[in-house]
Amino acid sequence: MKNEFSSFDAAKILDLPMERLRQWLKLGFIKPTVPATGQGTKAVFTLDDLYGVALFKKLLDAGFTRTVAGEYVRQFLNKEKSTPERHIADYIIFKVFIEDGETKVCAIEHTKDAIDNINISTGLQRSIKPYMLSSMPKFKYMVSDAWDTLLVVNFGQIRKGIETALSGS
């Protein structure tokens, strides 16, 4: 399987309009492993980058702002790349709640085995590895029943969809 992809390849694989991908790149919401350094140079995306762009798109479709989705994807991919066992998440649960009049989001990754341990009354289970976006004030780890929305993203399905698209190209 191919390991490096151009912007054109990425847009085709992800079924994205090329202009939308360019806009996201230009505004810094997504970043390829090797950015284009000037006119006539090409950005190079890895498979992990493709997963990140697909996740970014999924979060936008779910109503996240581009800033929040981009920051989460950046931190998630950094964690994925630095984890020896790779692909630490099959599901990502986003818990959205209002605190002091501000919408906040908490994100936790789960493996296939751990997804059954979710306590829906709190939306989270402390024994499952939390992934906190602690550097961002809008992302906070909070175990309580004060959540408004839970969004479950099947990241394993995102990976599978991309791998299927690659096998057909």
Instruction: Determine whether 34 is exposed, middle or buried from the number of CB atoms within 10 Å of its CB (0-12, 13-18, 19+).
Output: middle
pLDDT of residue 25: 94
CA pair distance 141, 119, nearest whole angstrom: 15
Burial 49-81 (b: 16+ CB within 10 A, else e): bbbbbbbbbbbbeeebebebbbbbbbbbbeebe
Q: Where are the alpha helices (DSSP H) in 7-65?
A: 7-14, 18-26, 47-61
In this structure, CATH architecture of domain 7-168: Orthogonal Bundle (1.10)
Domain boundaries, the chain: 7-168
Q: Closest by alpha carbon to 48, among 96, 14, 81, 6?
A: 81
pTM of the model: 0.78
Q: Is the Cβ–Cβ distance between 66 and 83 less than 8 Å?
A: no
Which residues does 120 contact at the CB level (< 8 Å), separation at least 6? Answer: 150
Nearest-10 Cα torsion for 81, 86, 88, 91: 90
Q: What is the pLDDT along the chain (169 residues), one digit of tens a residue?
A: 678 999 999 999 999 999 999 999 999 999 999 988 888 888 999 999 999 999 999 999 988 889 888 988 988 888 777 776 666 678 888 877 777 777 777 777 666 655 555 554 444 443 333 333 333 334 444 444 566 777 888 888 999 999 999 987 5
